[in-house]
Structures are given as structure tokens and as C-alpha cells.
Amino acid sequence: MDTAKFEEVFEAKLAKNDFIEPKDWMPENYRKHLIRQVSQHAHSEIVGMLPEGNWITRAPSLRAKLVLLAKVQDEGGHGLYLYTAAESLGISRDEMLNALLTGKAKYSSIFNYPTLTWADIGAIGWLVDGAAIMNQVMLQRSSYGPYSRAMVRICKEESFHQRQGYESITHLAFGTPEQKAMAQDALNRWWFPTLMMFGPPDRESPNSENALKWRIKRETNDQLRQRFVNQTVKQVEYLGLTVPDKHLKWNEAKQGYDFSEPDWDEFKNVIKGNGICNKERLASRNKAHSEGAWVRAAAEAYGKKQPEKEAA
Ligand code: 3HC
């Protein structure tokens, strides 16, 4: 078939909401778009383990430690699914890791903020994982089969993450005045960086048009951000806390909240590498990568020694 025919088959699959699978023909720009998004999603999962891992040794109880350990471990698994999904598009694991370790590839801006108190761990589970779920539930309907299927598995585990965070922040919000103040302080510091997770405003999103055309994204950055605010404000009110946005106001006509936009200059600065923790996060990933070289060498040596498996 000539390219025009391949394109016709590709478009017909999209129109029927059929998955595009690794062995299917796909436009080069579709492949590149997915490699960019899926690999950066994987990087976000792996780097996201660092701010939370920072509190494993300081969790206030054995139960809290166990729950946080399980969550952080899950994030590593999410990274693995997503790197594997990205590899099915023809990029190697080494290429992706090299892009992360050299600072060329992005990961979610949210992980460049510090976790200053135990309340931050609750805020991350509640807000950050809550925002991630909102985005990832939408991505379960992504047109690329391996990405969509990875999302189905990840969303199941994310709901545990969000619940554990919300439980922890609820404990503080209904605790002593000092605990409630810690919960409010964490909300103040994590609210706007969480809104940035959904990406720049639609008016400044260069990738959204193609993402929507190719059904990689099914909703826009602003639509998801709005839905997140609408849902989360009610939880904040239940907790007796205050959203750190004096312009937040219910808009009856749109059946949603009007709210202040995040500081997009701060966002651009963070994704350029100048956030509070960017350098620390990259240094930690590089240190872990070099310290893990012996494990990779051993696994490769073991792999070479295995007898070739007959084709099933
Ligand atoms: N952090 C870092 N970079 C971001 C960003 C963010 N929060 N939001 C957008 N960007 C980057 C984009 O990558 C793009 O840069 P690039 O072209 O060099 O890749 C640029 O800003 C413009 O943004 P667009 O809106 O045009 O880009 P996208 O269409 O890719 O939308 C996105 C951005 C919404 C993040 C989309 O890529 C996406 O849905 N990604 C998958 C979800 C994801 O990565 N989530 C990260 C969190 S994972 C997580 O939270 C783990 C949880 O378990 C805690």
C-alpha cells in the first residue's frame, strides 16, 4: 500500500476508536509525539519517588511508613510500565534514561518542589496523585494501545495513593491546632504547583492540537484543570481548610469555580530546570544510576548465559 492508503487506514482506526498497536503503521509525528509524552510520563513516575522517599525513614508510625513504602514502590512500577510502553514505539531504554539524566527530557514540574513537613506527603497523595488520576483516567482512552492499557493498571494503584494521602491530611486537619496549621501550610505550598501539572493554558499548549486530533489526549489541559478544582474545593471545605486563592468563586453560569491561574513564569522557569529541587533531583537520579551499574551488568551477564529459548 502507498502512504496515502496507510494514512487512510490509520485515520479510520482513530475514527472507530480502535487502538493503534505497535505493529500498525503510524505517522512518524504520531510516533514522535507519543515517545515524547510517554517517556516523560515515565520519568515523572521515577523522579516522583524522590520527594516522597525523603520521608520514609521519618514517617510518624509504622503503618504510615508501610503505606508510604508501598506507594513509592508502586511509582517505580508505573515508571517500568511506561518505559516499556515507550520502547514499543522504537526508542531504547538507554536513550530515554540518557535524556533524563542529561537534563534533556522533561518530567512533571511538581516534583521539583521540596517536601518540608510530613503534611506534604499527605498533600502529595491527595492533590498530586489526585491530579495525576484525573489526567490518567482520561489517558486510559488514549489511541495508542500499550499506553492506554498501562493507564488502566496505573489508575487502579493511583486511587490507593490518593486515598492514603487524603487519609493522612484528614488526620492532620482534624487533629491539634498545630497539625491543622501544618495541613494548611502544605495546601498553601502545593495548590498552585498542582494546577501546573495539567500543563500550560490551552492558549499556550503547542502539543494539544495534535494530541486531540490523534486522540492521545481526550480533553484539554484547561478542561482537566477546571474539573480538578471543582472536585477538590469541596474536599478542602470538608477539611475546614482554605484554598490559597482569594479569587476562587463559584460561577453558577458555568457550574464551576472561577480561580486564579498559576504563575506561568514560575512554571516555565521550573521546566527550564530552575526550580527549587531540579538540580537535587537530577543529581539523585544520576547517583542512583551510577550506583546501579553493577546490577545492570550482572543482569546482562546473566541474560547472555541463558540458553536461547526455542520459539514457542
Ligand atoms: N511539567 C513539565 N513539563 C510540562 C508540564 C509539567 N507539568 N506540562 C507541560 N509540560 C511541557 C510539555 O512536556 C511540553 O514540552 P515538550 O514539548 O518539550 O515535551 C510543553 O510543556 C508544552 O505543554 P503541552 O501542553 O503542549 O504538552 P502536552 O500536550 O504533552 O501536555 C501533559 C502536557 C498534560 C503533561 C501531557 O504530556 C500528559 O498528559 N502527560 C502524561 C501525564 C503525565 O506526565 N503526568 C505527570 C505526572 S505522573 C505523576 O504524577 C505520578 C503520580 O503517581 C504521582
Cell of 164: 492514603
1 C-alpha vs ligand 1 centroid, how far in Å?
Answer: 35
41 C-alpha vs ligand 1 centroid, how far in Å?
Answer: 7
Q: What is the pLDDT of residue 182?
A: 98
Closest residue by Cα to atom 25, ligand 1, is 205
Placement of cell 510517554 in the chain: 38
The strand pairing partners of 144, in sequence order, are 20
Q: What is the pLDDT of residue 310?
A: 63
Q: Ligand 1: which of 68, 112, 129, 135 to mutate, most ligand atoms within 8 Å of CB?
A: 135
Closest residue by Cα to atom 24, ligand 1, is 205
CA distance 8 to 10: 5
Closest CA to 192 of 245, 124, 241, 232: 245
Give the count of beta carbons closer than 10 Å to the beta carbon of residue 157. Answer: 16
Amino acid in position 289: H
Closest CA to 34 of 97, 98, 96, 77: 96
Alpha helices (runs of H) in 91-176, residue ranges in sequence order: 93-101, 118-123, 129-139, 145-173
| Ligand 1 neighbours (beta carbon < 6 A) | 36-37, 40-41, 44-45, 48, 75, 78, 106, 108-109, 128-129, 132, 135, 158, 196-200, 205-208, 211, 221, 271
Ligand 1 atom nearest the C-alpha of 75 is 53
Q: What is the pLDDT of residue 311?
A: 60
Asked if 188 and 244 count as a contact pair (C-beta separation under 8 A), the reply is yes
Placement of cell 476508536 in the chain: 17
Asked if 259 and 229 count as a contact pair (C-beta separation under 8 A), the reply is yes
CA distance 87 to 85: 5
CA distance 259 to 250: 9
Q: Ligand 1: which of 100, 142, 197 to mutate, most ligand atoms within 8 Å of CB?
A: 197
Q: What is the pLDDT of residue 1?
A: 76
Placement of cell 537535587 in the chain: 280
Q: What is the pLDDT of residue 312?
A: 56
Asked if 112 and 278 count as a contact pair (C-beta separation under 8 A), the reply is yes
Placement of cell 502529595 in the chain: 124
142 C-alpha vs ligand 1 centroid, how far in Å?
Answer: 15
DSSP character at residue 25: -
Closest residue by Cα to atom 41, ligand 1, is 41
Cell of 285: 537520579
Cell of 198: 495539567
Sign of CA dihedral 222, 226, 227, 228: positive
Angle, helices 145-173/62-87, rounded to nearest 10 degrees: 160
Asked if 201 and 23 count as a contact pair (C-beta separation under 8 A), the reply is no
pTM for the full model? Answer: 0.96
Give the count of beta carbons closer than 10 Å to the beta carbon of residue 73. Answer: 12
298 C-alpha vs ligand 1 centroid, how far in Å?
Answer: 34
Query: How high is the mean pLDDT in each 10-residue block of the chain (312 residues)?
Result: 92 97 97 98 98 95 97 97 98 98 97 98 98 97 98 94 97 98 98 98 97 97 98 98 98 98 98 97 97 94 81 58
